[in-house]
Every structure is written in C-alpha cells, then in structure tokens.
Amino acid sequence: MLSAEQLRQTVAAIAAEQAPDGALPWFRGGQLDPWDSVEAAMALDVGGEHDRARAAYDWLAGRQRPDGSWATEYRDGAVVAPAVESNHAGYLAVGVWHSWLCTDDAALVDRLWPTVRRGLDLVTAMQLPTGAISWALRPDGTPDDTALLTGNASLHQALRAGIALAGLVGEEQPDWDLAAADLGDALRDRPGAFADRSRYSMDWYYPVLGGAVTGAAADARLAAGWDTFVVPGLGVRCVADRPWVTGAETCELALALTAAGRVDDAIEQLAAMQHLRAEDGSYWTGLVYADDARWPVERTTWTAAAVVLAVDAIAGTGPAATLFADPTALDRPAAPRAAQPVPDTTAGGPPGRG
C-alpha cells in the first residue's frame, strides 16, 4: 500500500491538472470526458480537496444539456465530440453520493440533485427491451441497439447511487428502481444483451466492481479471466491479445477484488502497477511491456484517481470506502435528511473508462 505522504502527493498531482474554472481534464490542456472527470473528483474528495471536487462537479452541472446529457469530449471548455453516451449521463450520481459520504455536504446534494435526476432519467429512457442500456443516442435522438457491458455495469452502480440520493432528498424514483433491477438481471443472466467485447479486461471485472455480480458468482468470474488478463508483477492487460498493461484497469480490478473479499489479491495488484508511478506522484497510463515502453506517453488524472480510490477501498477507513469495498452498501436505503442527517456508513458499498 502507498504511504499517506505518497497518497497526498498523488492527490496533489490530480489537483495540479484542474483548470481555474473547475474543469478536471485528463491532463492540463487535454481532453475532458464526464465519466473520467467524476472519477478524478472522487479522488480529490478522498484526499480532502473538497472545494476542488465541488468545483469539478459544478463545472459539469453547468454544461449539462437540456436532455440530461453531456458531450462525449470537451477541450478547454469547448465541445469536441457532441455525441450522447449513456455512461457519461449517469456517472455523476456516483460522484455526488461519494461526496455526500465524504463530506455530509447537504448543500452540494441539493444543488446537484436536479442534474443527477435529469441524467438518470435519460439513462432509463435509453433502456432496451433486453434490460441493457443503449450505449448512445443516434443522431435522430433514438437509442442505438448496441449495449456495452462495461458501461452498463457502471450504470448499474450509478442507478443505485441515484436511488440512494433520491432517498436522501425524499424524492423516490420508482422508474430507476425498475431499471436497475432489470439491468442487474441482464448483467447476470443475459450475456447476449451486450456486444461481444470480451477481449477487453473491463468487461471481465466490471460486473463485479459495479455490484451486479456478487458472492460465488463474482469469485467464479474473476477466476475465469485471471490468466487471460493478469500479468504477474506488472498489472492487468487492457486488451487480452496485446502486451500492454494499464494502471487504471489494474486498480479497478483491485476494487473488484476488494468487493469480492479478496483484499490480499487487491493489494498485490495495486503493488504490481507501481512501476507506472512518476516522481511527482502522478501515474503513466500504461506500459507496453514487450518493448519496455510507456504508452500512451501521458500521465492521466483518471489513472491517478483509480490508484487513490483503490487505496481507500482496500484500507477501508475512509468515510466513502464502502462505496467500492462493499457491493451491498448501496442496497441499504438512505433515510431522508430530515429523519437522519448523516447516513450510517459503518455497515459498509463500487469505477474506468466507463
């Protein structure tokens, strides 16, 4: 595990890439997508940089479109790729719930609740008859017929976080409950509902990380892909047939392992990817180990964020650690603030390229 000082250094490296207006891109001057920006903001909250995390969330809220969506990519505040993707629309819910667990900031929840609600209403509108959620809207505004397993596993977590927030603010959302239940069934029992992207490691572990697959089924799933994706001493392949390990995927596997109760294996994976750590605490995205070459040649906020979230979940001592460490925590209803100002997080609750 990293020392407290090393963790502070990594949080500071993420903060250094944030723009003055709150935008939190991959790196200063680089692209920004909503999913990865939320992941980086969660790491800031873990590190106590709450004002910076709020600024990142407010930046996103200010750019939500009327239909509840965000553009797929921004650069220096301008839209670069305007497409509507479901995983970007939903993931703010996870960030806001995580921030609530970290800070008890009711004002932030109240301010961002309408943004979360619009995003998840769009997500549920994109649900297909199979229970899976379309990955994107077509130009005519109708959902594409394709559903992506990783994005759907992330949305399973997002819907459940949204349901928890709805309970907190006292505005039940029964449509979200139904959507989450049907999506969970699809993730567990309807593999044909999703495009075959099994060569990507995220499709392997994300149903466990997102809380849809638990218990013995989680153990079996993780065991089935282990030899395909795990490179001993280096981390996890992003793609099964490429000699390329990536830091974020390795740390997200560590989150899935923690959720499955395999903490020693999670620590081993976190340790294995430390060859990607730079002197300033930031992290290179990946390594082509056949050539001993870092690729791409970039240090991304979301890779560093995945490290921070993995450390927090494994340690289990932070106020939001259960979000990723205990896949059942989101199933415990949150009492409205008037009845219980601070939700009980002691009983224990899970990130990606989405």
In a domain, 346, yes or no: no
pLDDT at position 35: 98
Give mean pLDDT, residues 199-208: 98
pLDDT at position 334: 61
> Who's near 5: CB < 8 A, 6+ residues apart?
none
Percentage with pLDDT > 90 across the chain:
92
How many Cα neighbours within 13 Å face the side chain of 257? 23
Per-residue pLDDT of 246-291, as tens digits, reads 999 999 999 999 999 999 999 999 999 999 999 999 999 999 999 9
- The closest alpha carbon to 64, from 40, 97, 91, belongs to 91
Residue 321 pLDDT level (bands cut at 50, 70, 90): very high
Element at 230 (helix H, strand E): strand 230-231
The CATH number of residue 322's host domain is: 1.50.10.10
45 phi-psi bin (left φ>0, alpha ψ -120 to 50, beta other): alpha
Domain that holds residue 264: 4-331
Single-letter amino acid code for the residue at 217 = A
In a domain, 348, yes or no: no
In a domain, 232, yes or no: yes
Per-residue pLDDT of 290-318, as tens digits, reads 999 999 999 999 999 999 999 999 999 99
Bridge partners for 74 per DSSP: 32, 79
In a domain, 350, yes or no: no
Largest CA distance in the chain: 58
Give mean pLDDT, residues 137-162: 98
In a domain, 220, yes or no: yes
Give mean pLDDT, residues 189-205: 98
What's the whole-model pTM score?
0.94
> Who's near 271: CB < 8 A, 6+ residues apart?
1
Per-residue pLDDT of 128-141, as tens digits, reads 999 999 999 999 99
Element at 78 (helix H, strand E): strand 78-81
Q: How many domains does the chain have?
A: 1
Per-residue pLDDT of 19-77, as tens digits, reads 999 999 999 999 999 999 999 999 999 999 999 999 999 999 999 999 999 999 999 99
In a domain, 287, yes or no: yes
C-alpha 135, offset from chain centre = 16
Residues 288 and 245: their CA atoms lie apart, in Å, by 7
Contact 221, 172 (CB under 8 A): no
In a domain, 352, yes or no: no
Single-letter amino acid code for the residue at 333 = P
Q: What is the mean pLDDT of the chain?
A: 94
In a domain, 342, yes or no: no
CA distances to 67, 96, 226, 232 from 116, rounded to whole Å, are 12, 8, 35, 40
The encoded tokens of residue 247 equal 């830091």
